[in-house]
Amino acid sequence: MQIGLGIFGLADMLIKMEIRYGSKESIELCDVIGQEMACQAIKTSSFLAEDYGTYPKYNKDAILKSEFFKNHVDQFNRDYISNDGLRNSQLLTIAPTGTLSSMLGVSGGIEPIYANYYERKTESLHGYDEYYKVYTPIVKVYMDKHRLKDESELPDYFVTAQTLDYKERIDMQSIWQRHIDASISSTVNVPNNFTVEDVEKLYLYAWKRGLKGVTIFRDGCARTGILSTNSKKDSTTKNESYSISELPRGMVIKADDNCIGRKRTLHTGCGTLHCEAFFDPNNGDLLETYFSKGSSGGCNQFMIGLSRMISLSARGGIDIYSIVDQLKSSGTCPSYAVRTATKHDTSKGSSCPVAIGNALIDMYEETINDIYVEDEDETDVHEKIEVVNNKINNMIAKCPQCGGNLIFEGGCNTCKDCGWSKCD
Extents of the domains making up the chain: 260-395
pLDDT value for 378? 47
pLDDT value for 410? 62
- Please tell me the CATH code under which domain 260-395 is placed: 3.30.390
Confidence of residue 224 (pLDDT cuts 50, 70, 90): very low
pLDDT value for 12? 94
* Least-confidence region, from 97-111, 246-260, 268-282: 246-260
Whether 295 has a pLDDT exceeding 70, the answer reads: no
Whether 179 has a pLDDT exceeding 50, the answer reads: yes
Whether 310 has a pLDDT exceeding 60, the answer reads: yes
pLDDT value for 234? 42
pLDDT value for 319? 86
Confidence of residue 328 (pLDDT cuts 50, 70, 90): confident
Averaged pLDDT, 89-102: 83
pLDDT value for 122? 65
pLDDT value for 237? 35
Confidence of residue 149 (pLDDT cuts 50, 70, 90): confident
pLDDT value for 230? 46
Whether 166 has a pLDDT exceeding 50, the answer reads: yes
pLDDT value for 69? 87
Residue 192 CA to chain centroid, in angstroms?
16
pLDDT value for 241? 46
Confidence of residue 1 (pLDDT cuts 50, 70, 90): confident
State the Cα–Cα distance between residues 236 and 244, nearest whole angstrom.
20
Whether 399 has a pLDDT exceeding 90, the answer reads: no
Averaged pLDDT, 69-84: 78
